[in-house]
């Protein structure tokens, strides 16, 4: 099947792109990597009147460190992010998450911002942004605003972005030294969306946890922040930590459901084990260091 007819534009600046979105009155769709959009167009499951290609906007590319944060351009390719020295040094959890997104071939085109904007509840990057306390900068002809990642997602593929808005940057706060990554994904095959996924970071200072950011993916209609587990972890001494008890708190914040791939009960059961093992391994690695 071929896509329905649409007008195509390739703006050179953010301002031009915002004006096109405004003029389209909700009938425009953005494209950068196109890993999700192209199949939808071909199947006519997406039928925009206007397609706005962002690939020519240089201001939307690249990764930099600025005053306690890492700033990621939304059309930065996923494989570019994996290879970026700045991102590896400042945000290793994001690099780990990106390595689990799709396959090497799709990561050559797929973008960081595209995955975060889509809001797939079983995807790695939206949950990692939530876990790390990231925010997204969005622009329109009406101005610029910041949206916290944990306030961005309302449901599957439903976000706080207005039809005339576009993501212009992802800002990730830097975590202090002594931070370890927590990441585990259970999928039917490498590259598939997760049946159960856990992502986050924990900061240890003198044998005590001083900061924690943890989120689930594939465990509900959106990325889910494990708020009870985070609160319980802060102040805990590593030597006295009961990972299984913290896992129960983490599961309590989830909202899994039955589908063709797994039941809600399977997700809860595996989630408990995933959390316990991933947290224990992360803290053991830290202690060994």
Query: Is residue 195 domain-shared with residue 277, that is, in the same domain?
Result: yes
Beta strands 179-186 and 196-205 are: antiparallel
Q: Lay out the sheet containing 7-9: strands in order across.
A: 7-9, 50-53, 28-31
Query: Is residue 112 domain-shared with residue 12, that is, in the same domain?
Result: no
User: 117: part of which helix (H) or strand (E)?
Assistant: helix 112-118
pLDDT values of the chain reduced to their tens digit, one per residue, 289 residues = 788 999 999 999 999 999 999 999 999 999 999 888 888 888 888 899 999 999 999 999 999 998 899 999 999 999 999 999 999 999 999 999 999 999 999 999 999 999 999 999 999 999 999 999 999 999 999 999 999 999 999 999 999 999 999 999 999 999 999 999 999 999 998 888 899 999 999 999 999 999 999 999 999 999 999 999 999 999 999 989 999 999 999 999 999 999 999 999 999 999 999 999 999 999 884 443 4
Which residue(s) pair with 282 in the sheet? none
Q: Write down the pTM of the prediction.
A: 0.95
Residue 111 falls inside a structural domain = yes
Query: Is residue 28 domain-shared with residue 70, that is, in the same domain?
Result: no
Asked if 245 contacts 229 with a C-beta cutoff of 8 angstroms, the reply is no
Helix, coil or strand: residue 71: strand
Q: How many domains does the chain have?
A: 3
DSSP class of residue 157 equals T
Structural domain for 13, as ranges: 7-53
d(CA 95, CA 83): 8
Residue 124 falls inside a structural domain = yes
pLDDT at site 168: 98
Query: Is residue 28 domain-shared with residue 86, that is, in the same domain?
Result: no
d(CA 99, CA 120): 17
pLDDT at site 287: 45
d(CA 172, CA 86): 13
The alpha carbon torsion through 275, 224, 191, 120 (nearest 10 deg) reads 170
Query: Is residue 128 domain-shared with residue 161, that is, in the same domain?
Result: yes
Query: Is residue 244 domain-shared with residue 263, that is, in the same domain?
Result: yes
């Amino acid at each position: 099947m071929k896509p329905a007819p649409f007008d195509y534009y390739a703006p050179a600046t953010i301002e031009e792109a915002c004006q096109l979105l405004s003029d389209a009155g909700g009938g425009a769709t953005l494209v950068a990597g196109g890993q999700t959009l192209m199949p939808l167009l071909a199947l006519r499951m997406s039928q925009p009147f206007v397609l706005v290609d962002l690939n020519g906007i240089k201001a939307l590319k690249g990764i930099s460190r600025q005053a306690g944060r890492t700033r990621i351009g939304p059309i930065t390719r996923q494989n570019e992010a994996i290879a970026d020295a700045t991102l590896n040094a400042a945000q290793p959890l994001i690099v780990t998450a990106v390595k689990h997104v799709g396959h090497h071939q799709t990561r050559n085109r797929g973008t960081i911002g595209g995955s975060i904007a889509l809001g797939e509840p079983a995807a790695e990057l939206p949950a990692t942004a939530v876990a790390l306390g990231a925010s997204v900068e969005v622009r329109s002809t009406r101005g610029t605003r910041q949206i916290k990642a944990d306030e961005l997602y309302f449901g599957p593929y439903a976000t706080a972005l207005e039809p005339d808005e576009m993501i212009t940057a992802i800002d990730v706060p830097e975590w202090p030294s002594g931070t370890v990554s927590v990441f585990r994904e259970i999928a039917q095959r490498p590259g598939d969306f997760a049946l159960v996924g856990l992502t986050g970071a924990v900061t240890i200072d003198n044998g005590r946890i001083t900061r924690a950011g943890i989120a689930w993916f594939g465990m509900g209609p959106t990325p889910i922040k494990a708020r009870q587990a985070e609160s319980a972890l802060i102040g805990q001494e590593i030597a006295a930590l009961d990972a299984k008890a913290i896992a129960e708190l983490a599961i309590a914040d989830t909202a899994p459901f039955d589908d063709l791939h797994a039941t809600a009960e399977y997700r809860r059961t595996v989630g408990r084990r995933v959390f316990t093992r991933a947290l224990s391994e992360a803290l053991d690695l830290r202690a060994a260091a």
